[in-house]
Amino acid sequence: MRTFDLAPLYRSTIGFDRLFSLLDQAAGAEPTSYPPYNIERTGENAYRISVAVAGFSEKDLTIEARENTLTIRGAKETSAEPPQTETLYQGIAARAFERRFQLADHVQVIGARLEHGLLHVELVREIPEAQKPRQIAIGGGAPKVVEAKAA
């Protein structure tokens, strides 16, 4: 029996593991490594995606959150004027890109900032009060909520 390393499939999910939908997506598209990115957990229900976008300015980048998908696009504006200098070697990639991240239910984008060539997108998971787990006291009478703490 063959074993498959599914670790790369977990890198693009924020807040949960959506294994089956990721398997469907992975089967149809080749993964790209540009631009490189990090996903960090900054709190119990807070996350940060940092994307290396050296050479791009704020006007070259677009961030869109639609349903459970976060899409980050970058495209450099081409100038009609000839360049003032001659490039001898270009190691900084400035090609257009589109990077998609699958978000869990109730994960919201709360902000983004561009600093030192890194685009930081801040995310938070806000679970509605009605969906949080709670303990119910055992006893007679009407149910009484003892604790309403997120798992």
Task: State the pLDDT at residue 1.
Answer: 46
- For the residues of the chain, what is the DSSP string, one character each? ------HHHHTTEESS--HHHHHHHHHHS-----S-EEEEEEETTEEEEEEE-TT--GGGEEEEEETTEEEEEE-PPPPSSPPSS--S---S----EEEEEEE-TTEEEEEEEEETTEEEEEEEE---GGGS--EE--SSSS--EEE----
Residue-by-residue pLDDT tens, the chain, 151 positions: 455 555 565 555 565 544 445 544 555 555 567 889 999 999 888 999 999 998 888 999 999 999 889 999 999 877 767 778 888 887 877 789 999 999 888 889 999 999 999 999 999 988 777 777 778 778 766 655 666 665 5
> In the chain, what are the domains?
7-147 (2.60.40.790)
